[in-house]
Amino acid sequence: MVVLESSCSFPERPWDVAIWHNLYRDEWTDLELHKGPPNDVPIAVSEKSAKECFRYSFTAEIPFPPSGKHAAFTIKYRTDTSAKWQWMNEQFGTKDGEIIIEPYDLPSKWNPRSLDKYLLSLNTDFDIKPQRSEAPGALLWTITGQIGPAVNRESKTTNMILGMPNEFVRTFSLVRMWAPWLAPRHGAASFNLNEDSILSSFVYKDGVVLVLLAVSGIDNVSTVFRSGPGGDIIVFSQNDDNHESKTQVLAATASSFEIAVASVIYEARKMMRSYSTISHDIPLQGDEPKAQWFSEWYDGLSYCTWNALGQNLTEEKILNALKPLKEHGIGISNLIIDDGWQSLDNKNQSQFKRGMTRFEADEQAFPHGLRQTVSRIRQENPNIKHIAVWHALMGYWGGISPNGDIATKYKTIEVERTDRAADSKTVIIDPDDISRFYTDFYSFLSSAGIDSVKTDAQFFLDILKDANIRKRCKSHILHVPGTPDNFPLPAPKQQTASSAEKLR
pTM: 0.80
Task: Give the neighbor-by-neighbor strand order of the sheet with 386-392.
Answer: 302-304, 334-337, 386-392, 452-456
484 in any annotated domain? no
Domain with 134 in it? 114-278
Residue 483 has pLDDT above 60, yes or no: no
487 in any annotated domain? no
Helix (H, G, I), strand (E, B) or coil at 278: helix
501 in any annotated domain? no
Is residue 328 domain-shared with residue 465, that is, in the same domain? yes
For position 476, what pLDDT does the model report? 76
Confidence of residue 470 (pLDDT cuts 50, 70, 90): confident
Lowest mean pLDDT among 11-15, 147-151, 210-214: 11-15
Calculate mean pLDDT across residues 404-408. 96
Residue 486 has pLDDT above 60, yes or no: no
Choosing from 278, 303, 327, the residue where a domain stops is 278
DSSP state of 346: S
Sign, Cα dihedral of 395, 396, 400, 403: negative
Residue 256 has pLDDT above 60, yes or no: yes
Calculate mean pLDDT across residues 133-152. 92
Spatial distance between the Cα atoms of 222 and 147, rounded to a whole number of angstroms: 11
Confidence of residue 91 (pLDDT cuts 50, 70, 90): confident
- State which amino acid sits at residue 249: V
For position 493, what pLDDT does the model report? 37
For position 209, what pLDDT does the model report? 93
Lowest mean pLDDT among 265-279, 312-326, 404-418: 265-279
Residue 143 has pLDDT above 90, yes or no: yes
Confidence of residue 42 (pLDDT cuts 50, 70, 90): low
More confident residue, 348 or 360: 360
More confident residue, 389 or 23: 389
Calculate mean pLDDT across residues 160-174. 94
Mean pLDDT of the chain: 85
Residue 487 has pLDDT above 60, yes or no: no
Choosing from 101, 131, 166, the residue where a domain stops is 101
For position 414, what pLDDT does the model report? 94
Calculate mean pLDDT across residues 482-488. 42
Calculate mean pLDDT across residues 148-157. 90
Is residue 208 domain-shared with residue 260, that is, in the same domain? yes
Is residue 180 domain-shared with residue 230, that is, in the same domain? yes
Q: How many domains does the chain have?
A: 3
Spatial distance between the Cα atoms of 407 and 356, rounded to a whole number of angstroms: 9
Residue 461 belongs to a domain with what CATH number? 3.20.20.80
Is residue 94 domain-shared with residue 124, that is, in the same domain? no
For position 488, what pLDDT does the model report? 44
Calculate mean pLDDT across residues 371-375. 97
For position 7, what pLDDT does the model report? 85
Question: 467-477 and 434-447 helices cross at what angle (nearest 10)?
Answer: 40
482 in any annotated domain? no
Calculate mean pLDDT across residues 353-381. 96
Helix (H, G, I), strand (E, B) or coil at 230: coil
Q: How much of the chain, in percent, has pLDDT values that exceed 70? A: 85
Count of beta carbons in the 10 Å neighbourhood of residue 154: 12
Measured CA distances, 416 to 97, 314, 465 (Å): 51, 32, 6
Is residue 367 domain-shared with residue 442, that is, in the same domain? yes
Is residue 266 domain-shared with residue 362, that is, in the same domain? no
304 in any annotated domain? yes
Residue 73 belongs to a domain with what CATH number? 2.60.40
288 in any annotated domain? no
For residue range 203-235, what is the model confidence (pLDDT) as tens digits? 998 889 999 999 998 889 999 999 999 999 999
Is residue 45 domain-shared with residue 18, that is, in the same domain? yes
- State which amino acid sits at residue 319: L
Residue 500 has pLDDT above 50, yes or no: no
For residue range 286-311, what is the model confidence (pLDDT) as tens digits? 455 555 666 767 788 999 999 889 99
498 in any annotated domain? no
Is residue 329 domain-shared with residue 464, that is, in the same domain? yes
483 in any annotated domain? no
Is residue 195 domain-shared with residue 246, that is, in the same domain? yes
Is residue 358 domain-shared with residue 442, that is, in the same domain? yes
Residue 491 has pLDDT above 50, yes or no: no
Choosing from 224, 252, 278, the residue where a domain stops is 278
Which H or E run includes 446? Answer: helix 434-447
Is residue 90 domain-shared with residue 119, that is, in the same domain? no
Lowest mean pLDDT among 67-76, 101-110, 249-258, 389-398: 101-110
Is residue 137 domain-shared with residue 267, that is, in the same domain? yes
